[in-house]
Chains A and B, each alone.
Chain A
Amino acid sequence: MAPDSALRRRAVLASGLGALTATSGCVSELRSIAGREASEQLSLSISTLPASEDPYSVRIANRLATNLTRVGVDTSVSPMESSELFQNVLINLDFDIYVARYPAQGAPDELRSLLYSSYGEEAGWQNPFGFSDLEMDDILDQQRHLSGTDRAELVREIQREVVKKQPFTVVAFPDRIAGVRTDRYRGWPNGGIRRPPDYLPLVHTGETDRLHLLIRDPRVTENRNPIAVEYRDSGIVTGLLYEPLARTIDGEAIPWLAREVEWSDGDRLTATVTLRETPWHDGETVTANDVAFTYDFLADTSLGNSETAVPTPWRRGRLSLVESVRAKNDEEVHITFTASEIEPARRALEVPVLPEHIWRERSDTVDIAGIDIAGQTTEALVWTNESPVGSGPVQFSDASVDSYLTLDAFPQHFLHDGDATGIPERFADGVPFSRLRITVVPSDDAAVELLESNDADATVSGVTASVVPRIGRNDDIDLTVGRSETFHHVGYNCRRAPLSNPRFRRTVARLLDRGHIVRDAFEGYASPSETPLGEPWQPTELEWSGTASLPFLGEDGKLDVPAAREAFRDAGYQYDDSDRLVRRGAA
């Protein structure tokens, strides 16, 4: 038994050794195999708003998620409330893909803010995509030094580049829809009130001089800071409280806090601005120093106290048009521009002017219990500004979070005081009410309910297509529809692979059927578009003709899955045995 077992052991050892020598080749192959990390299915998360806040966005997100899933990408849709979404997307830059509406004003220079590569690390609507392209930077800069047809041609070129490189995918311009009653106020603009000056031409016909409007977006009842980016949309309320030096209304430049703007085209483009005599809501006078302070402060809200400048995250592009601002005396300001043409430079005058005596002390960096956790943030950006002191034709009166906000006419405002030099007649009388109440409604249906019961005059900030039939059925409520400059889009985080690859983004863009989306998701109340700017900035070949220049991979909303997979393969992506799109490298 014993020798037998010893023999066997030797045999085992020998064969084992032999096997070992024989497999040494295999082991190195094994190492080579094991050393390559297993490729895993690509997974993406789409952040968007809940249907109660924006049904269009979540519908686009769902369609995109469905089609991405069908081409083998593990995709989920994550709805979150607007202030949370924009904090993730615009401030923390923490997202894969998002779907939302961009509160555009239709100015070509906005594209520079959205896409300029050196804004990639900044907070706000400054290049949230982290897109970087040196050629794009060049043409974005150049359009600031041109005007007229030359500029228009260059802007068209920029739009061609946007469509080609797809830092974001424009889906459609939603129509502005409002329900208005005309028994107390007339003169509603098409699509309802959409900009601060729209309140002024209203004519009051009823007995009461109180205007009652309904809003869906509750953020202004919580935060009234004009530069807190995650709380602002079109500034439909804060724009009534804080005013700019000048406004552009329907293409017309109108001096506002400035009585006069004198341009001078010497070595650099400059302007001398003469202010009107008007007070802040707390009684102090609006001075040239306030204006100079505003431009310095918004360019760096830490006023030089922080290592790097902390510019305003809200409409920051306008500040970059300005080189320097100097108060000459109490009512005259001298502005030097970085842009060399008046046409692009004019936008710089649309910055809300802030009172120095209130905002100067908001320049400290933010910390909690002495620990600087927020990094590049100043108090000015996180302040809720509950009782705003501005210079607008209304002053803040009262508010309750998520419930309502009331504003009173400000009798000392220059328009109410009779100074309307340079201001068109329809705006010259100031606000047509003594008190404006804005009530937050839980849904568009609830808004129509309040209009039906004659508890309010109109909706602001637009309602969705779903309530159009309901408004139409009621004889007391008028439906008004208008075009808008704002657009729904899909934004990609170009810092994250594979979204960093324009080929991948271009293929994702081809999963969206704009015609179908507008017909079903927008219920017809939108205009499909591939470009972020409409007329007159649109190249003729990119005008909407029914099919996109990056056409949908399918027909009538139905994705052609094999064709779509082929498109991803052509873009260099691979599939595993179970038809999942796989990727290498750490996520």
Chain B
Amino acid sequence: MLGIVLTQLLLVVTLLLAAGAALFIGRDRLQQTRTEYRTRLTSISPYMGLLGIVLVANKVARDIGPDISWIIGWNITPYIHELDGLLLAPFYRGQAPQVVVWLQSMATPELTLYFTSIYVYGYVFLLAFPVVAYFALPDPRPLRRTIVAYGANYVIGVTCYIVFIAYGPRNLLSESVEGLMFSHHSQYQFLTTAINSETNVFPSLHTSMAVTALVLAWTTHDEYPRWTPVAALLASSVVVATMYLGIHWATDVIFGILLGVVSVKIGQRMEENPPEFVRLRRWSRSLQNLMPTRAK
């Protein structure tokens, strides 16, 4: 089952990428990229190395993370539940509904299909397209920014997953919230289970990555003006989908948006100069200097 779903995903995203390349990137840029790809690869290679380290660390953390999490982690589900319940209070007199319950009260089979497709296919496309599009630019900075921003999302997100244990609304509010994607399109659950543990909901990485892609699109609006509105539509759909499908709390989403914006900021900081181990050493030395010293 996992194999079928993965093949579908690969196929759909490849098609979307090809369409995106034709629509937004254009022939000239693609041809130029063909002749310059070696120099472009060189200019981002240190970033790729960094991303490689992050992905390996991320893999290890996801394998052993849930177990460590139950040992040292802090179970914050009740707090998120309470906080979420307050979010709609300004708009209601009396008892306000939970954000997710309110969203699901508008559910239709068509909407569920739309948001499920967005959650699976739209999301992967939204993340993959900037990598292709920015590789097609002579300026290496947008791609560097993207790589660092994605890496920052993962590092910060996975750290949060280890420190905080939280179940999503479908796991707590079992009667009022339905895991719509899993009950109506259950084949995708084989994919999500293979990727993530269900206690990793705070913050929403789907949201933060989507917001990162949107902010990146905004920073490159001059190069790809037509991509920005598409990214905006996709990103906002992903954000709503995480809640509509009962996977995330609104609180996860709010923190996800913050993380997404902060990650781009980190990306912009590091885009001029490639990461060097010299700087890391200097940084650790300055940390040492902060330590109190003994008089000699």
B199 at interface by CB-CB < 8 Å: yes
Question: Cβ of B170 and Cβ of A51 under 8 Å apart?
Answer: yes
Question: Cβ of B174 and Cβ of A78 under 8 Å apart?
Answer: no
Residues of A within 8 A of B173 (CB): 62
* Residue in B closest to A402 when the chains form the complex, CB atoms: B193
Question: Cβ of B1 and Cβ of A79 under 8 Å apart?
Answer: no
Against B, the Cβ 8 Å flags (1 = close, 0 = not) of A28-66 are: 000000000000000001000011100100110010000
Against A, the Cβ 8 Å flags (1 = close, 0 = not) of B54-80 are: 000000000000000010000101100
Interface-located stretch among B184-192, B204-212, B217-225: B184-192
Residues of B within 8 A of A55 (CB): 174
A543 at interface by CB-CB < 8 Å: no
Question: Cβ of A58 and Cβ of B1 under 8 Å apart?
Answer: no
Residues of A within 8 A of B183 (CB): 445, 466
Q: How far is the CA of A425 from the CA of B4 in the complex (A)?
A: 43
B276 at interface by CB-CB < 8 Å: no
Q: Indicate which residue in B70, B171, B186 contacts A52 across the interface (CB closer than 8 Å).
A: B171
B28 at interface by CB-CB < 8 Å: no
Against A, the Cβ 8 Å flags (1 = close, 0 = not) of B157-194 are: 00000000101001111110001001100110110110
A80 at interface by CB-CB < 8 Å: yes
A455 at interface by CB-CB < 8 Å: yes
Question: Cβ of B186 and Cβ of A58 under 8 Å apart?
Answer: no
Residues of B within 8 A of A453 (CB): 1
Q: How far is the CA of A453 from the CA of B75 in the complex (A)?
A: 37
B82 at interface by CB-CB < 8 Å: yes
Q: How far is the CA of A59 from the CA of B173 in the complex (A)?
A: 7
Question: Cβ of A455 and Cβ of B182 under 8 Å apart?
Answer: no
Question: Cβ of B171 and Cβ of A443 under 8 Å apart?
Answer: no
Residues of A within 8 A of B1 (CB): 446, 449-450, 453, 455
B198 at interface by CB-CB < 8 Å: yes
Residues of B within 8 A of A450 (CB): 1
Question: Cβ of B193 and Cβ of A81 under 8 Å apart?
Answer: no
Q: How far is the CA of A50 from the CA of B189 in the complex (A)?
A: 16
Q: How far is the CA of A52 from the CA of B182 in the complex (A)?
A: 11
Residues of A within 8 A of B78 (CB): 45, 76-78
Against B, the Cβ 8 Å flags (1 = close, 0 = not) of A67-78 are: 000000000111
Q: How far is the CA of A52 from the CA of B186 in the complex (A)?
A: 13
Residues of A within 8 A of B174 (CB): 51, 55, 58-59, 62
Residues of B within 8 A of A442 (CB): 182, 189-190, 192-193
Residues of A within 8 A of B192 (CB): 442
Residues of B within 8 A of A520 (CB): 175
Question: Cβ of B187 and Cβ of A50 under 8 Å apart?
Answer: no
A84 at interface by CB-CB < 8 Å: yes
Question: Cβ of B198 and Cβ of A445 under 8 Å apart?
Answer: no
Residues of B within 8 A of A477 (CB): none
Residues of B within 8 A of A45 (CB): 78
* Residue in A closest to B75 when the chains form the complex, CB atoms: A78
A400 to nearest B CB, angstroms? 12
A448 at interface by CB-CB < 8 Å: yes
B176 to nearest A CB, angstroms? 9
Known A52-B198, A76-B78; judge A521-B175 contact (CB<8 A): yes
Question: Cβ of A445 and Cβ of B182 under 8 Å apart?
Answer: yes
* Residue in B closest to A447 when the chains form the complex, CB atoms: B186
* Residue in B closest to A453 when the chains form the complex, CB atoms: B1
Residues of B within 8 A of A445 (CB): 182-183, 186, 189
Residues of B within 8 A of A59 (CB): 174-175
Residues of B within 8 A of A79 (CB): 77, 167, 171-172
Q: How far is the CA of A363 from the CA of B286 in the complex (A)?
A: 51
Q: How far is the CA of A442 from the CA of B2 in the complex (A)?
A: 12
Closest 8 CB pairs of A and B: A51-B174, A76-B78, A50-B171, A445-B186, A442-B193, A55-B174, A442-B189, A449-B186
Interchain Cβ contacts under 8 Å between A and B, 23 examples: A45-B78, A50-B171, A51-B171, A51-B172, A51-B174, A52-B179, A55-B174, A58-B174, A59-B174, A62-B174, A77-B172, A79-B77, A81-B70, A442-B189, A445-B182, A445-B183, A446-B186, A446-B187, A446-B190, A448-B186, A449-B187, A450-B1, A521-B175
Known: A51-B170, A51-B172. 14 other contacts (CB 8 A): A52-B170, A58-B171, A59-B174, A78-B78, A79-B167, A80-B165, A84-B70, A443-B186, A445-B186, A445-B189, A446-B187, A450-B1, A455-B1, A466-B183
